[in-house]
């Protein structure tokens, strides 16, 4: 068996020298050193030898197996190197070329504005309350002091569903009623919430108006909340959002669910108040409607209006984003045109 072992060893070494590719190397490895390889089988047969020959044979077989393994590793490295050089020559690799860019997504411009709005209101102690997109007519209108057939309903062109009395919310204000019922604990607890979300109006689509858009409602209730609290809080928000030097003004307005009602304007972000197409040459842009919560609405939310008061506001993040970036047409927001979206 010793001669057989030496013969296999010499043959294996000689063959290894002539191998030039990975596949032939793998075949060689299987044939001599694999589980059923010739050297392995001989080693396993050590036990069949007479006792006195076993140790010498085992030692020699192990030594030859190790020598073949080392020779194999050396040859395999040389072959790999040669293959690499060959492939570089055949198809040269220019390591100085820029890599392939991995496409990275970004946040929608409205989402960016919304997150900024959430962060500012959170710093000011307001938590987010998510109300429903599909509302009932009562909560969207009647409980907000807009009874059926009241002409104020004309301010909100409504999408109705096939279920009578079920509509898509036209504004986030119905969330005021739901927040009061959820957090007010039968009119005993103060509330500070913002209510963001989609609103839907059956409107003529134009450069400033979509049929689907976001609003962020705000609501604060308490025992001593006054108009000055509303003005101070909104002014603080506007300064944190648009810059500490921005001037803010309030104009009288009308909403059925607030009394008194106001509109909030800030100095135009683009022209600084000089007048430009975005502010329609007025120097001001509107950012929100607001007012003191109407006593009827407080009552519908479970509060006694003789003891409790509150303020509310509603702003439109798409219009705010348009003003900040000078975007001329609201329709870009939902067209999913990457040329538009990638600019933010
Ligand atoms: C309201 O919807 C009131 N619920 C706001 C409010 C809340 C007032 C609480 C008082 C107290 P208005 O219809 O003006 O008000 O809408 C508020 C904001 O939503 C607008 O200033 C505008 O930014 C945005 N908005 C309204 N309609 C559209 C539209 N079709 N497309 C895009 N944004 C719109």
How far is residue 71's CA from residue 286's CA, in Å, rounded to a whole number?
82
Task: Give the pLDDT confidence score for residue 1 in this predicted structure.
Answer: 79
Closest residue by CA, ligand 1 atom 5: 314
333 lines ligand 1 (CB under 6 A): no
141 lines ligand 1 (CB under 6 A): no
94 alpha carbon to ligand 1 midpoint, in Å? 57
How far is residue 294's CA from residue 259's CA, in Å, rounded to a whole number?
5
308 near 187, Cβ under 8 Å?
A: yes
Task: Give the pLDDT confidence score for residue 46 in this predicted structure.
Answer: 87
pLDDT 10s per residue in the chain (344 long)?
778 888 888 899 889 888 888 888 999 999 999 999 988 888 888 888 888 888 888 888 888 889 999 999 999 998 889 888 888 888 877 888 898 888 888 999 999 999 999 999 999 999 999 999 999 999 999 999 999 888 777 777 899 999 999 999 999 999 999 999 999 999 999 999 999 999 999 989 988 889 999 999 999 999 999 999 999 999 999 999 999 999 999 999 999 999 999 999 999 888 888 988 778 899 998 999 999 999 999 999 999 999 999 999 999 999 999 988 989 899 999 999 999 999 99
69 near 61, Cβ under 8 Å?
A: no
38 lines ligand 1 (CB under 6 A): no
Give domain 109-341's CATH number out of 3.40.930.10, 3.30.930.10, 3.90.226.10, 3.40.50.2000. Answer: 3.30.930.10
Residue 194: in which H helix or E strand, if any? strand 191-200
116 lines ligand 1 (CB under 6 A): no
247 near 267, Cβ under 8 Å?
A: yes
How far is residue 210's CA from residue 227's CA, in Å, rounded to a whole number?
31
Task: Give the pLDDT confidence score for residue 57 in this predicted structure.
Answer: 86
323 lines ligand 1 (CB under 6 A): no
Which of 195, 314, 317, 321 best tests ligand 1's pocket when mutated (most atoms within 8 Å of CB)? 314
pLDDT tens for each residue of 275-325: 887 788 999 989 999 999 999 999 999 999 999 999 999 999 999 999 889
314 lines ligand 1 (CB under 6 A): yes
Gyration radius from the chain CA atoms? 39
Closest residue by CA, ligand 1 atom 12: 289
Which of 141, 213, 214 best tests ligand 1's pocket when mutated (most atoms within 8 Å of CB)? 213
How far is residue 65's CA from residue 272's CA, in Å, rounded to a whole number?
85
268 alpha carbon to ligand 1 midpoint, in Å? 19
Task: Give the pLDDT confidence score for residue 86 in this predicted structure.
Answer: 84
How far is residue 150's CA from residue 157's CA, in Å, rounded to a whole number?
13
pLDDT tens for each residue of 209-254: 899 999 999 999 999 999 999 999 999 999 999 999 999 999 999 9
Instruction: Please tell me whether residue 261 adopts helix, strand or coil conformation.
Output: strand
286 near 305, Cβ under 8 Å?
A: no
Task: Give the pLDDT confidence score for residue 131 in this predicted structure.
Answer: 97
Looking from the CA of residue 155, the nearest atom of ligand 1 is 13
How many residues would you count in the chain? 344
Residue 220: strand pairing partners = 192, 311
How far is residue 266's CA from residue 250's CA, in Å, rounded to a whole number?
9
Q: Which residue has the tokens 């800030």?
A: 266
290 lines ligand 1 (CB under 6 A): yes
How far is residue 66's CA from residue 89's CA, in Å, rounded to a whole number?
35
Task: Give the pLDDT confidence score for residue 267 in this predicted structure.
Answer: 92
268 DSSP assignment = -
Angle at 97 between CA 96 and CA 101, to 5 degrees: 130
**Exposed/middle/buried for 136, CB within 10 Å: 0-12, 13-18, 19+?**
middle
218: Cα separation from own chain's centroid: 23
301 near 177, Cβ under 8 Å?
A: yes
233 lines ligand 1 (CB under 6 A): no
Instruction: Please tell me whether residue 6 adopts helix, strand or coil conformation.
Output: helix
215 near 199, Cβ under 8 Å?
A: yes
Closest residue by CA, ligand 1 atom 27: 209
Task: Give the pLDDT confidence score for residue 315 in this predicted structure.
Answer: 97
240 DSSP assignment = H
How far is residue 265's CA from residue 25's CA, in Å, rounded to a whole number?
79
């Amino acid at each position: 068996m010793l001669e057989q072992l030496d013969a296999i060893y010499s043959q294996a070494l000689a063959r290894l020298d002539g191998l030039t590719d990975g596949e032939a190397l793998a075949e060689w490895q299987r044939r001599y050193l694999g589980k059923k390889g010739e050297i392995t089988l001989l080693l396993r047969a050590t036990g069949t030898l007479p006792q006195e020959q076993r140790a010498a044979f085992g030692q020699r077989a192990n030594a030859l197996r190790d020598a073949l393994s080392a020779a194999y590793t050396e040859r395999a490295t040389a072959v790999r190197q040669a293959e690499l050089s060959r492939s570089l020559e055949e198809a040269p690799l220019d390591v100085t070329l820029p890599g392939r860019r991995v496409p990275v997504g970004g946040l929608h411009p409205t989402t960016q504005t919304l997150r900024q709005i959430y962060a500012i209101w959170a710093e000011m102690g307001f938590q987010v309350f998510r109300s429903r997109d599909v509302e009932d007519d009562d909560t969207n209108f009647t409980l907000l002091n807009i009874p059926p057939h009241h002409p104020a309903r004309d301010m909100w062109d409504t999408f109705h569903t096939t279920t009578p009395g079920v509509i898509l919310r036209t504004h986030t204000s119905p969330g005021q009623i739901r927040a009061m019922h959820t957090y007010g604990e039968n009119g005993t607890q103060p509330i500070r919430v913002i209510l963001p979300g989609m609103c839907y109006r059956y409107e003529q689509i134009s450069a400033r108006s979509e049929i689907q858009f976001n609003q962020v409602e705000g609501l604060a209730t308490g025992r001593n909340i006054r108009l000055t609290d509303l003005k101070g809080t909104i002014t603080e928000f506007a300064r944190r959002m648009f810059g500490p030097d921005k001037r803010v003004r309030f104009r009288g307005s009308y909403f059925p669910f607030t009394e008194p009602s106001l509109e909030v304007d800030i100095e135009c972000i683009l022209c600084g108040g000089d007048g430009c197409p975005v502010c329609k040459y007025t120097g001001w842009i509107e950012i929100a409607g607001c007012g003191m919560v109407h006593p009827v609405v407080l009552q519908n939310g479970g509060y006694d209006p003789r003891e409790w008061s509150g303020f509310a506001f509603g702003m439109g993040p798409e219009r705010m984003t348009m003003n900040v970036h000078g975007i001329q047409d609201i329709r870009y927001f939902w067209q999913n045109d990457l040329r538009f979206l990638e600019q933010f």
